[in-house]
Amino acid sequence: MCGRYGLSLPSRVRELPLDSALLAEFEDVAPRWNITPSQSVLAVVSDRDGIRTARLRWGLIPSWAKDASIGQRMANARSETVRSKPSFRKPFASRRALVFADLYYEWQVLESQQGKQPWCIRLADNAPFAFAALWDVYSPPAPDDAIATFTLLTTAANPLVSAIHDRMPVLLAPAQYHSWLNLDTPLDDVETIVHTPPALDMHAYRVSTYVNSPAHDDAQCAEPIDPSEAVLPE
């Protein structure tokens, strides 16, 4: 699963292989170290109107929902069932998105201590990456405005993350961005993308419980408890 993430250097998103004009807005995005569900972020979205940037709130509210509170339970969606679940089936086919980050957090259950141990997970060189996301637009009763929301897809953890948690978000390889955003990509191929995440060069290190509070959103959230754990793998 993924319940917190950060984008500490938004300007580096422009290093990713997408149209430079599309990513220009990320130059003005403020650094974030502890993004939580219910907060809004800038993302790259696709639908039948094309590919563009949009601000989305984390926690998907299906377009047909009777109550917006359902979004509180929709921060993540299991990639194995998104093609069949009513909440995700239509967005999977027609509203896909890239949500950018350069770190995310996971909490490990340890028998030797009370509470959970938070870990920060990053790519080599702390490079930016893109989560696979679905989005939708909910129109509440007037006079409220429509709300664009998203959910992050999750999959079985890779060998690195599995020591911490059995699930992880789907991180897309740059070569997969176009196929993920292109709504003409056959859905069988899209399923293959999210069921077999790429082998990315990742590292993880323990951080303090400072990150547990949604009120904390600064570099201290991602500081290692033991600096030697944050050394990039050779």
The catalytically annotated residue of 25, 27, 106, 191 is 106
**Quick one: 158 exposed, middle or buried, by C-beta within 10 A (0-12, 13-18, 19+)?**
middle
pLDDT value of residue 234 = 42
Query: Does residue 100 have a pLDDT over 80?
Result: yes
Q: How confident is the model over 192-207, as a mean pLDDT?
A: 88
Poorest-pLDDT segment among 86-90, 149-153, 228-232: 228-232
Alpha helix stretches (DSSP H) within 7-85:
20-23
**Active-site entry in 2, 27, 223, 229:** 2
Question: Each residue of 11-60: pLDDT tens digit?
Answer: 999 999 999 999 999 999 999 999 999 999 999 999 999 999 999 999 99
2 is catalytic: yes
| Distance of alpha carbon 11 from alpha carbon 19, whole angstroms | 14
**Residue 225 CB partners (closer than 8 Å, separation 6+):** 205, 206, 207, 208
Query: What CATH architecture does domain 5-230 belong to?
Result: Alpha-Beta Complex (3.90)
For 12, counting Cβ atoms within 10 Å of its Cβ (0-12 exposed, 13-18 middle, 19+ buried), the class is middle
Helices (H), 8-151: 20-23, 86-94
- Under the banding of pLDDT at 50, 70 and 90, the label for residue 232 is low
Shortest CA distance to 57 belongs to which of 167, 132, 133? 133
Give me the residue label for tokens 């993430």. 5
Residue 223 CA from chain centroid, whole number: 20
The whole-angstrom separation of Cα 56 and Cα 45 is 9
The whole-number average pLDDT for the span 139-144 is 74
Q: Is 106 a catalytic residue?
A: yes
Q: What integer is the mean pLDDT of 86-105?
A: 97
